[in-house]
């Protein structure tokens, strides 16, 4: 047995077809406003979730900075040379930057009263965000250069130590051969 969908039929006596048209138009606008309200509520919930997530991440970063103040270079190098850490962080940062860009673009267009699709010009806030993003990227590059420099120094120190140990091993082998030949 199939059940057909339920329909509601409203019969409203209207004096003229113009009244009917106006009433239909009013109903259509009410439906659109309700849909818009639902979408805005959903967006507000998502923004609240995102805000809570951003706050948790910022607090986590602060905690890691406070804990990481006394860390040694060796531990630092291990953390940043592992395969999973930086790749995951870079992917996450890329997504966060895309979300930030979309939000900035949306807010700039909304403040100008334009729908996001029609907002062609680069808004003032977006230009500022791009400058901030470039500044953040420059700081990140400088930080990576410093890290690279420290790691290169560490590798060269270890390489020198390996060379020194190999030279000592060679001299010990030579002494053993000399002792063995003297017997």
Q: List the chain pLDDT tens, one digit each, 183 residues.
A: 566 666 676 777 777 788 878 888 888 999 999 999 998 899 889 889 989 988 998 898 888 888 875 554 445 445 544 555 567 777 788 888 888 888 887 887 877 776 655 555 555 555 555 566 677 778 888 888 888 888 888 888 888 888 899 989 999 989 888 888 887
What is d(CA 1, CA 129) in angstroms, rounded to the nearest whole number?
60
Q: Evaluate whether residue 34 is within a structural domain.
A: yes
* Residue 143 domain-assigned (yes or no): no
Query: Domain for residue 40, yes or no?
Result: yes
**Which contacts (CB < 8 Å, 24+ apart) does range 147-154 have?**
147/76, 147/80, 150/73, 150/76, 150/77, 151/77, 151/81, 154/73, 154/74, 154/77
Give the pLDDT confidence score for residue 73 in this predicted structure. 44
State which residues form the domain around 59: 20-64
In a domain, residue 82? The reply is: no
Q: Identify whether the C-beta of residue 77 lies closer than 8 Å to the C-beta of residue 70.
A: no
pTM of the complete model: 0.44
55 within domain boundaries: yes
pLDDT of residue 20: 79
Burial of 166 (0-12, 13-18, 19+ CB in 10 A): exposed
Residue 76 is predicted with a pLDDT of 47
What total number of domains does the chain contain? 1
Asked if residue 53 is part of any domain, the answer here is: yes
Residue 18 is predicted with a pLDDT of 83
160 occurs within a structural domain? no
> Is 120 within a domain?
no
Candidates 100, 135, 108, 111; CA nearest to 124 is 108
């Amino acid at each position: 047995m199939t059940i057909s969908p339920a329909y509601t039929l409203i019969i409203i006596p209207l004096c003229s077809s113009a009244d009917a048209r106006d009433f239909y138009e009013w109903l259509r606008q009410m439906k659109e406003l309700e849909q818009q309200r639902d979408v805005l509520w959903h967006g507000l919930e998502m923004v609240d979730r995102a805000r809570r997530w951003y706050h948790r991440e910022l607090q986590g970063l602060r905690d890691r900075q406070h804990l990481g103040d006394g860390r040694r270079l060796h531990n630092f190098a291990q953390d940043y040379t592992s395969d999973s850490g930086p790749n995951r962080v870079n992917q996450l940062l890329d997504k966060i930057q895309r979300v930030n860009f979309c939000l900035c673009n949306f807010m700039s267009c909304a403040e100008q009263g334009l729908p996001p699709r029609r907002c062609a010009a680069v808004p003032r806030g977006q230009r500022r965000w791009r400058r901030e993003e470039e500044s953040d990227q420059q700081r990140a590059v400088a930080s990576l250069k410093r890290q690279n420099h420290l790691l290169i120094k560490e590798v060269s120190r270890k390489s020198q130590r390996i060379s020194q140990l190999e030279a000592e091993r060679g001299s010990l082998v030579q002494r053993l051969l000399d002792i063995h030949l003297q017997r």
